[in-house]
Amino acid sequence: MSKEFSIRRLRALCKKEMFQIVRDPSSIMIAFILPVILLFMMGYAINLDTSVIRVGILVQDNGSSAQNFVRTLQASPTIDLHPILAQEDLLAEMSNKKLRGAIVIQNDFSTKLLQGNGEGAVQVITDGAEPNTANFVTAYINGIWQSWRMAEKMEKGVVQTTPIDVRIRSWYNPSTISRNFLIPGTIAIVLTVIGAMLTSMVVAREWERGTMEALLATPITKLELLLSKTIPYYILSLVAMFLCLIVAVTIMDVPFRGSLMVLWATSTLFLGCALGLGLFLSTATRSQFNAASITLIAGFLPSMIMGGIVFEIQSMSGALKLITLIIPARYYANSLQTIFQTGSVPSILWTNAMALTLLMVFWLALTAKKTKRTLE
Amino acid sequence: MSVAIEAQNLTKQFQGQTGQSTIALNGISVVVQHGSITGLVGPDGAGKTTLLRLMAGLLQPTIGNIRVLGMEPFKDGDQLRIDIGYMPQKFGLYEDLSVIENLNLYADLRNVLGTERERLFAQLLAFTDLARFTKRYAGKLSGGMKQKLGLACTLLGTPKILLLDEPGVGVDPISRRELWRMVRELAGGGMTVLWSTSYLDEAELCDSVCLMSQGQIVANDTPSAIKSIMQGRCLHITNIGGNRRNVLMRALQAPEVIDGVIQGANVRLVTSIAGQHPNLASLNAGHASKLVETEPRLEDTFISLLGGAQYAESALAATIPDVVLPSSVDPNSVIEARQLTKKFGDFTATDCVSFSVKKGEIFGLLGPNGAGKSTTFKMKCGLLKPTSGQALVMGIDLKKSPSEARQRLGYMAQKFSLYGQLSVKNNLIFFSGIYGLTGDRQKNKIQQMIDVFALGPFLDMYSGQLPLGIKQRLALACAMMHNPELLFLDEPTSGVDPIARREFWSHINGLANKGVTIMVTTHFMDEAEYCDRIALVYRGRLIALGTPDDLKKSVISNDNPNPTMEDAFIKLVKGADDE
């Protein structure tokens, strides 16, 4: 008689789980506080945008061309120019990291400019310890140099025709604010944390506290047990996701162009994967500590690094690219970015949904297989 | 009466992670009658929990079969679970749920609904006296109340068979007695009860008893029948003149004596053959001493069946010199508590406790759970700082120079705080190292401990995988590395089998004779009898202080002319409640 599924028992178990969530400060922390902290971290602290960079300038040539070039540099919105008087000061400031780079206009600047093409007239020093910034500095200054040279030549009557007139327009994220791209990805991280990490501990907790043994001795069925561990955390994750959405749209001004229904459907598929992974680890390890550590290493970190959230998958190496194929966050983050920034691109969303469904079935089936009705 | 549970040639083998397998149950056969209380008695690792889990259908037998109410528990689990109430260790309660929420959950799971539920709740809450606490979280209940709630949850659905796994563990004698009354009432109503325990005195109250050791049943009968084989083999030496510990040591060297313990001022002996008494004169127990026959106990049979416990001289005590105290230390107060008080917020855990312990004395700290004995104990060995008052050891204030004091004391914690992931040898090296032993001194001391405790065969095993008795030896070895003048023991023998406990106490007795001062907490009343004096702590206060016999005498009444230590404990605590 107890082989049959009972809604009443499932409801009782879910209610119990809800009580435990509400009363455990750590689950509230993970579900509501941590997501907001993560959002702000990813939205404001991590910034992939080009911003104003402090660069020193040492002028050893007093000619008018040199001064003219310095004025052009000063006019640039991306460079914060700091005059340096002596070579030693330059070295000191660079090693103190007060400057991200330096421009040296040598005393033969005017000569070189007059003699040839101005080759070797300007020396750019960058801090190779931070390659990204170093590249920015080089590129900026190079750009300014080129346009200054062109203006200079035009002033002198040398007409130069530019073969192509480049006008850049970024689609989908016109102002290329990296936050708009990072925040949807962060929601994938948040759901990984709640879905996998929180759930990874709940079954283990029952084992550790000896309550699992008492539960197994009651007439509950395996399906009831599994659903009672899934439904409450699914709801909790969805609440956390909508909290993130509200914070992102209202406080952080991230545009949301897609439909809530599509968001919900995609999130459900992804949560199937995350909950499945969490429950599987929890059931397999029976220890909260082990389950949480493994979820961190096998769930959270790969999502963060290889999910295409911070680092673009296209720029990864071949083998790494293959590994990303089994990371659910990759598909989910991609769908989220699409839903937020573009609205709806059915071909992308459907492909991702298919992949997520496959992964979800895999993890849930594994959990169902691993879950036993006895202690054997 | 008809048969409720029947096991035949039941064997359960577990596959370890590293490939080796352990046999938890080895071909046991047992029959349990309807409406009886059966005690599964034995030390940790005897196979009690495995047997209960097999009955509950949570495990599958490796060989043999078991039938519960005519069904196979593992196969017919779905059918049988309605009829079985199983309470695992730690009671299976949700600590972050209130009493009533726990009851509601288990009622839903066990299909107890509607008016039937209301009726049962009212009955169980009255039965367990928990009606006042329905809104309290289970985690905030005392050990005794948790145990009663666990029982109430198990009883929902009115099972025909009740399986209780060590319901008395870590619970004080008062709560245990109350639980026993409840279970007795249930069995009277026709319920079949299986009760596992490592306390042999608890088992004496059962209708029938299975004595278990290392996966086998060594005896299975009514308690009186099991005890009867020991008739005429149990003796008291009374009116002892001189040191009773020396008398015990000499008695255990006599060939006819198989077991002996200190019981207050007396020594209690068990002989191998009825009527055969050791020669009193050779025991040098004083001319007034007498040999008196006494009633056998379940433990006597158990020890006799396991081959006796003749631990006369302690090899450990032989390795240490007589304790010589510095002249500045008063031998009458090697350990002293002066108005010791500890407050946690507005809760006073220890309230103005004062006592002093003599050199070479075994001093016991007893009390119900949560009475403040652990807090007092921890202040005495410098693990907690008193809110007011002083804790002194060897005249040193623990508040002022804790590390100086700690160098003089050895500490053996509850559950033996060893490093489970280190081998036995590495534990010895580590503990000798932290006590400052180096070079040859360290090497020699470790070798000495290996010899004394026969740890040779276990040196390369992880200490976490050792049998409990060996763990206990190792823990004592680690605590004694630096020849401390004081030894603090916090429930040193929980769950350990009686033979290992005898061995342990032979060391403690030997150390006391060498002048080592010993302070011990315990839940075992028979262990309290080893103490020279006992401090009974209740609600943070010292409610009684005296020799075991003093305490027993203080509760003599017409109803109970010959009270046991447990009677004394219960009466003194209840008396303090009435004040």
Q: Last residue of some domain: A99, A125, A155? A: A155
For Cα atoms A127, A129, A131, give the angle at the middle one, nearest 5 degrees. 80
Residue A140 and residue A17 share a domain:
no
Whether the pLDDT of residue B321 is over 80: the answer is yes
Q: What is the CATH number of the domain that holds A110?
A: 3.40.1710.10
Q: Do B109 and A219 touch (CB under 8 A)?
A: yes
Question: Quick check: is A167 in a domain?
Answer: no
Question: Helix, strand, coil: what percent of chain B each, to 5?
Answer: 35, 25, 40
Residue A354 and residue A294 share a domain:
yes
pLDDT tens digits, B117-127: 999 899 889 88
pLDDT confidence tier of residue B489, bands split at 50, 70 and 90 = very high
Whether the pLDDT of residue B135 is over 50: the answer is yes
Q: Do A19 and B96 touch (CB under 8 A)?
A: yes
Residue B435 or A16, more confident = A16
Whether the pLDDT of residue A54 is over 50: the answer is yes
Q: Does domain B3-227 have CATH number 3.30.365.10?
A: no
Q: Do B92 and A15 touch (CB under 8 A)?
A: no
What predicted TM-score, i.e. pTM, was given to this entire model?
0.80
Distance in angstroms between the alpha carbons of the first and the last residue of chain A: 23
Residue A359 and residue A300 share a domain:
yes
Report the percent of chain B where pLDDT is more than 90.
39
Taking residue B107's Cβ as centre, other Cβ atoms within 10 Å add up to 21
User: What's the Rg (C-alpha) of chain A?
Assistant: 29
Residues sharing a CB contact under 8 Å with residue A274, sequence separation 6 or more, in sequence order: A191, A192, A194, A195, A196, A199, A237, A299, A328
pLDDT tens digits, A1-16: 346 788 999 999 999 9
- Which of A9, A211, A376 has the CB atom closest to B59's CB atom? A376
ipTM over 0.85: no
Question: Helix, strand, coil: what percent of chain A each, to 5?
Answer: 65, 5, 25
Identify the top-confidence range among A50-64, A298-312, B207-221, B413-427: B207-221
Query: How far is Cα A374 from Cα B11, in angstroms, rounded to an integer?
Result: 18
pLDDT confidence tier of residue B544, bands split at 50, 70 and 90 = very high
- Residue B10 has a pLDDT of 94
- Which of B84, B90, B108 has the CB atom closest to A217's CB atom? B84
**Can you spell out the DSSP letters for A5-69?**
--HHHHHHHHHHHHHHHHH-HHHHIIIIIHHHHHHHIIIIIS--S---EEEEEEE---SHHHHHH
Nearest partner of A306 among A316, A292, A293, judged by Cα: A316
Strand order in the sheet with B63-68: B21-33, B3-15, B63-68
Strand order in the sheet with B347-357: B347-357, B335-344, B388-393, B396-397
Residues of A whose CB is below 8 A from B147: none
User: What's the Rg (C-alpha) of chain B?
Assistant: 25
Residues sharing a CB contact under 8 Å with residue B550, sequence separation 6 or more, in sequence order: none
Residue A333 and residue A207 share a domain:
yes
- Which of B60, B81, B95 has the CB atom closest to A217's CB atom? B81
Tokens of A276: 């499945």
pLDDT tens digits, B17-42: 666 788 889 999 999 999 899 999 98
Whether the pLDDT of residue A224 is over 80: the answer is yes
- Which of A20, A210, A219 has the CB atom closest to B96's CB atom? A20
Span B546-552, average pLDDT: 92
- Residue A245 has a pLDDT of 93
Residue A346 and residue A219 share a domain:
yes
For chain A positions 21-50, those within 8 Å of chain B (CB to CB) are 23-24
Whether B499 contacts B304, CB under 8 Å: no
Nearest partner of A291 among A230, A201, A229, judged by Cα: A201
Whether the pLDDT of residue A160 is over 90: the answer is no
Domain that holds residue A267: 7-46+177-370
- Residue A83 has a pLDDT of 85
CATH: 3.40.50, 3.30.390, 3.10.20, 3.30.70. Which one for B229-312?
3.30.70
> CB-side exposure of B386: number of CA atoms within 13 Å?
26
- Which of A3, A210, A375 has the CB atom closest to B90's CB atom? A210
- Which of A3-7, A16-20, B425-429, B509-513 is predicted least confidently? A3-7
Whether the pLDDT of residue A350 is over 60: the answer is yes
- Residue B243 has a pLDDT of 86
How near does any CA of chain B get to the CA of A187, in Å? 30
Q: Do B105 and A374 touch (CB under 8 A)?
A: no
Span B324-328, average pLDDT: 83
Q: Last residue of some domain: A155, A187, A206? A: A155
How near does any CA of chain A get to the CA of B164, in Å? 11
Work out how many domains chain A is built from and give that number. Answer: 2
Query: How far is Cα B482 from Cα B441, in angstroms, rounded to an integer?
Result: 10
- Residue B90 has a pLDDT of 79
Residue A366 and residue A231 share a domain:
yes
Mean pLDDT rounded to a whole number for chain A:
84
Residue A334 and residue A361 share a domain:
yes
DSSP state of B456: G
Residue B506 or B77, more confident = B506
Instruction: Return the residue of B nearest to A211 by Cα.
Output: B92
Question: Quick check: is A69 in a domain?
Answer: yes
Query: How far is Cα B239 from Cα B290, in angstroms, rounded to an integer?
Result: 7
Q: Do A374 and B60 touch (CB under 8 A)?
A: yes
- Which of A13, A24, A374 has the CB atom closest to B57's CB atom? A374
Span A322-341, average pLDDT: 90
pLDDT tens digits, A76-130: 777 888 888 888 888 888 888 788 888 888 888 888 877 766 667 788 888 877 7
pLDDT tens digits, B453-471: 988 888 888 888 787 888 8
Span B187-192, average pLDDT: 87
Query: Is the CB of A4 inside 8 Å of chain B's CB atoms?
Result: no
How near does any CA of chain B get to the CA of A240, in Å? 23
Residues of A whose CB is below 8 A from B154: 214
Query: How far is Cα B524 from Cα B200, in angstroms, rounded to an integer?
Result: 10
Strand order in the sheet with B362-366: B409-412, B486-490, B517-521, B362-366, B533-538, B541-546
Tokens of B49: 């929990």
Query: How far is Cα A248 from Cα A182, in angstroms, rounded to an integer?
Result: 11
Residue A157 identity (one-letter amino acid): G
Residue A321 and residue A181 share a domain:
yes
pLDDT tens digits, A253-287: 888 988 999 999 999 999 999 999 999 999 888 88
pLDDT confidence tier of residue A47, bands split at 50, 70 and 90 = low
Question: Quick check: is A317 in a domain?
Answer: yes
How near does any CA of chain B get to the CA of A8, in Å? 7
**How big is the A-B interface in CB pairs under 8 Å?**
92
- Residue A264 has a pLDDT of 95
Residue A309 and residue A356 share a domain:
yes
Residue A271 and residue A145 share a domain:
no
Query: Is the CB of A333 inside 8 Å of chain B's CB atoms?
Result: no
pLDDT tens digits, B441-453: 999 999 999 999 9
Query: How far is Cα B369 from Cα B143, in angstroms, rounded to an integer?
Result: 7
Q: Which residues of B touch A (CB under 8 A)?
A: 53, 56-60, 74, 77-79, 81-82, 84-97, 101, 104-106, 108-111, 113, 153-154
- Which of A12, A24, A218 has the CB atom closest to B96's CB atom? A24
Whether B214 contacts B242, CB under 8 Å: no
Residue A247 and residue A118 share a domain:
no
Question: Quick check: is A191 in a domain?
Answer: yes
Domain boundaries, chain B: 3-227, 229-312
